[in-house]
A and B are shown apart, each in its own frame.
Chain A
Amino acid sequence: MRQTPLWLIVALTAAGLVAARFVLPHLGFAPDTVNHILIWGLLGIGFDLLFGYTGLLSFGQAAFYGTGGFVTAYLLTRNIMVSVIGALFVGMLAAAVVGALVGVVALRRTGIYFAMITVAIAEMFFFLENSPLSAYTGGENGLPGVPSPSFELGPLIWHVGTGWSMYWFLAACYFIGIVIALRIVRSPVGAILTAIRDNPERALAVGHGVWRYKLAAFVIAAAYAGIAGGLLGVLQGYMPPEAFTFDTSGQLVMQTVIGGGATLFGPLLGATVWLYLRDFLQQGLGLGTTWKLVLGLVFVLLVCFLRRGLIGGLRDLVAMTRRRKPHEEAAEESAPIVADPPVLASIAHRHRDEPAFSGPVLEARGLTKRYGGLFANRDIDFAVADGELRGIIGPNGAGKSTFFKMLTCEVHPTAGQILFHGRDITGMGVAQVCQLGLTKSYQVNQLFTRQTVWQNVMIAALAERRGPFRLDLLRRIDRVPGLETQVEQTLALVGLSARAQVPVSDLAYGEKRRLEIALALAASPSLLLLDEPLAGMSPRERAETVQLLKNIRRGRTMIVVDHDMDAIFELAERITVLHEGRLLAEGTPAEIQRNSFVQDAYLGGVAAAE
């Protein structure tokens, strides 16, 4: 999984754009078609960042395309601004601002709601442009007379004309756009966006401000749409109202899917295929308006059978021929967990600048959760001391899971209070408490399934290194201070160093369980909660994981829920027993073993009856 170096991609892109000028005419492309392809490609870069990388399917990009286009065209045709570049820039800013406002509304919901809301909002923009704002937009007539830019460099003056002259200008814009996007994709933000696409819940749980990152992606996509819209007006010398229609958004979605999402270049390829087929079917074959039917069928077939598009399909093909060898390694046994690995001292939890506090690390007072008439937890008082390893047990349905979820703020209590290092965290978000140093590993693996082991741990470590939100869009990810060391140490601790570059999907079950724990560890928690870390393990994996838990407990406080009594009694210093939603008993393993209430709860009174 080695990444192609950035400079190589940039150089190839530049060469490709120059070569296209001389090759495409021989393939029957008119300059006007090529110029439109570049604009669709630029519009598509932003959409791909939003859909391909972040997983947010918007059918409303036309709103920002139109906004940028009409703001630019208005400024230029009414002589408010003279500089074309300046007007393009203002148009882009306007689209970004509108994008932020729309994003705040649309991102209130996810999934299908998000898609529907973007459709509706984009339609609203179309109606606004068409009549209430027609004094500014020209209504159904659009805005004619958009000028082309000129550049003066000393004695040299380049006035951008039509045709291939315009091509050089648009190609330069596309080039800048793609370089910035490539940097974004390879920045920490890019990594977090793909994490949000793959598993938004876990991205939140390791401490990322998911909502703000989504909004950022939405605004970036709107900015790209804005500049593309402005360029459309410049290219045609006229800003058409059709830019605002649903068809524009729909065509963008289709082109991106045809070319391949999460590639940045997919939309450009998709637009090329789209416009070439359109001209070919319409004029070459004389099909008239039927061309859209053919493209519609092609699109449906691609979604059914080649969802990753043309570029994705090519990549899979290349990977199939190349990948035989690394696959054989996958059968190899995982590295065993050794007792006391040397990295232990350095991985101990980061000391956050919190006021000195000598009380319990975690304290719950009167914690109650009610679902309708049913009490899942009732009036639980609970405290864990610094450095303690606490076990929680209880029969099925005792309310362990709900209790755990309340402690990590996944579920908010109906009544009661939770204090972490003396600070009230009741009602806080999952990401916020993770940033404070409280996180958990899940009973069912919550991994970023489309990424490698290394990338998984890195996503978690990024939250710890960078805080909940930071827009270092252009920073290279390997320049985040301390990130690499932290990922390496975490992997060493869970014995996955040798498997760092393996995709998660190729891991054995026991390894996935360890990676699950590693994600929590990478956040450097001072309090780590483990939800059934031994669930579903073979005896050997179980023994290894018990050793792992013994290793990681140094320097941190841990709470473990599990059904494996032997392991809990071996590991824990104190054990809390829940029964029917209430606290039944608490004490050392020896005390709990002797406790008659606990025996009753587990044996259902059978022992007493005998």
Chain B
Amino acid sequence: MITWPNFVSQLVNGLAAGTLLALISAGLTIIYGTLGVLNLAHGAMFMLGGYAGFVAFQATGSFALAVLAGSLFMLVAGAVIELVVIRRFYSRPPEDQILVTFGIGIVLVEVVRFIFGSLTATVPPPAWAAGITSLGFMIYPTYRLVVLGIAAVALAVLYVVLYRTRIGLIVRAGIEDSGMVGLLGINVYRVFMLVFGIGAMAAGFAGIINAPVVSLTPNVGDSILVQTFVVVVIGGVGSFPGAILGGIIAGEILSLTSMVNPAYSDVMLFAVMTLVLFLRPQGLLGLAGRA
């Protein structure tokens, strides 16, 4: 039975899920845009961030510290992965890059499984965000609203970094023409390392703030990876605004379809992707010339 409050609540659900997806996809898309590498380990990084936050929470008992420590961990982990593995692959064909990030993803998942086992790990929401909030005509879990807010703020921060700082200028120039950026005397590799770290952090950060909503398992990132792909295909690979638009569209499709019949929510998502591919193959906000 579809009622008005039910509909609004699903709409907000979709927005929350969509903002989270947008954040993860933004990480994927800036990595691809700058480094030219499609990161198939992105889902695993979402998962790893969640576990990093889980460990930090166990140690400190503070949710805020868990988010902070987990994010920093992912920044460092991403930079290390770039330095040790990804760097060898810039001059190799895209298929090789896909294969190696796929392998990295499996290794990350299995390392976590080795350490934490296959059982679920849970992080409770912070005390001030537990419980429910009354929105007048309906009640809604407070923490979901918080997720929406935090993810939106994180996207805004990412936007400021990309569009208002020197490093962001280099990254965006790199998206246009990475060869030229190298010629300008900028150490491209250091930028690449940082970008891969930031991209990993975006996924990991999303993983932590999502941990109180969906309990952690080593495979929690698998379906996220696929949804992220759909988001960037819809929005346009390498486009930051495209990731946001695609994320929100995907979140709403998943949420609104599940109101009618949950079994079809993912199917509907892929159907929309196919439609976009036929009508606008480069994605809604993608540029025709690229990829």
Contact = CB atoms under 8 A, between A and B. Distances in A.
Interface of A: 51, 55, 57, 59, 105, 108-109, 111-113, 115-117, 119-121, 123-124, 127-128, 130-132, 246, 250, 253-254, 257, 289-290, 292-293, 296-297, 299-300, 303-304, 307
A108 B32 CA distance: 20
Interface in B258-283: 263-264, 266-267, 270-271, 273-274, 277-278, 281
Interface in B224-239: 225-226, 229-230, 232-233, 237
Given A116-B38, A132-B264, A300-B85, A123 B226 contact: yes
Contacts of A59: 102
6 contacts: A112-B32, A112-B237, A115-B38, A127-B267, A289-B118, A292-B106
Interface stretch (B92-100, B132-140, B162-170, B190-198): B92-100
A300 B110 CA distance: 13
A290 B107 CA distance: 10
B71 to A, nearest CB: 25
Given A112-B32, A307-B92, 11 more contacts: A109-B277, A109-B291, A112-B237, A113-B237, A115-B95, A132-B264, A132-B267, A250-B106, A253-B99, A293-B111, A300-B100
B233 A116 contact: yes
Nearest to B32: A112
Given A250-B106, A290-B114, A127 B263 contact: yes
A421 to B, nearest CB: 32
A253 B95 CA distance: 11
B118 to A, nearest CB: 7
Given A57-B95, A111-B291, A120 B110 contact: no
Interface residues of B, number: 42
A171 B115 CA distance: 41
Interface of B: 32, 38, 85, 88, 92, 94-96, 98-100, 102-104, 106-107, 110-111, 113-114, 118, 222-223, 225-226, 229-230, 232-233, 237, 263-264, 266-267, 270-271, 273-274, 277-278, 281, 291
Contact of B85 (A55, A130, A304): A304
A115 B111 CA distance: 25
Given A131-B263, A296-B107, A117 B98 contact: no
B234 to A, nearest CB: 10
Given A111-B94, A289-B113, A293-B110, A116 B99 contact: no
B263 A303 contact: no
Given A111-B94, A112-B291, A246-B226, A132 B110 contact: no
A113 B291 contact: yes
A253 B96 CA distance: 12
The 8 A-B residue pairs with the shortest CB-CB distance in the complex, in nearest-first order: A293-B110, A131-B263, A124-B270, A300-B103, A296-B106, A116-B229, A112-B38, A296-B107
B100 A253 contact: no
Contacts of A289: 110, 113-114, 118
B233 A124 contact: no
A130 to B, nearest CB: 8
Contact of A297 (B107, B237, B263, B278): B107
Contact of A117 (B102, B103, B111, B277): B277
Given A132-B264, A296-B107, A120 B291 contact: no
Nearest to A247: B222
A120 B229 contact: yes
A128 B267 contact: yes
Given A116-B232, A300-B85, A304-B85, A105 B99 contact: no
